[in-house]
Amino acid sequence: MSADRAATHRITVDVEVDGRRRREEVPANTVLLDLLRDRMGNTGVKASCERGVCGACTTLIDGVPTASCSVFAFSVDGCSVETVAGQTEADEPGPVQRAFAECGGFQCGYCTPGMVMLTTALLREHPEPTEEQVREWISSNICRCTGYRMIIDSVHRAAELIREEA
């Protein structure tokens, strides 16, 4: 299918986003990032490189961290997508977000949504991660501000907060 035809051919995507079922009709060449931001108004998912290398647009697709700019919307049909907007609890920041605020794990904040999503996935798989595991998991998200020390501290603090709340 040519790019022009893909842009005019429309598809329906049925997806759960942050616990809420959504059904959207979009051009066939729409990427998940654009579906989330432009169609659903979820601007917490950041657009940056749009090539899947910076990590700012990281979401969890069926629990797996994924650069939303590198996935066609049609490929998430029937899936569950989690974004940073869904990480709140009763309109209050969740433990990962609180940890990032408490430890200063952000400066400009552009990489933060992706870091929050990577941390969420990491702590589900490894509730008490080693520093090496943290470094490996966050390596797919580029931060140009913090030097990563405060981010690593934030991940460990988030693990503590989650254990305290359990």
The pLDDT tens digits of the residues spanning 111-155 come to: 999 999 999 999 999 999 999 999 999 999 999 887 799 999 999
The pTM assigned to this predicted structure is 0.92
Do the two domains 3-82 and 87-165 of this chain adopt the same fold? no
CATH topology of domain 3-82: Ubiquitin-like (UB roll) (3.10.20)
CATH topology of domain 87-165: DNA polymerase; domain 1 (1.10.150)
Give the pLDDT confidence of 76-114 residue by residue, as tens digits. Answer: 999 999 999 999 877 899 999 999 999 999 888 899 999
CA distance 25 to 95: 34
Give the pLDDT confidence of 16-48 residue by residue, as tens digits. Answer: 999 999 999 999 999 999 999 999 999 999 999
Helix (H) or strand (E) holding 133, with range, is helix 131-138
Q: Where are the domains of the chain?
A: 3-82, 87-165
Residue 5's pLDDT is 63
**Distance, CA of 63 to chain centre:** 10
Q: What angle do CA 156, 159, 152 make, to 5 degrees?
A: 20
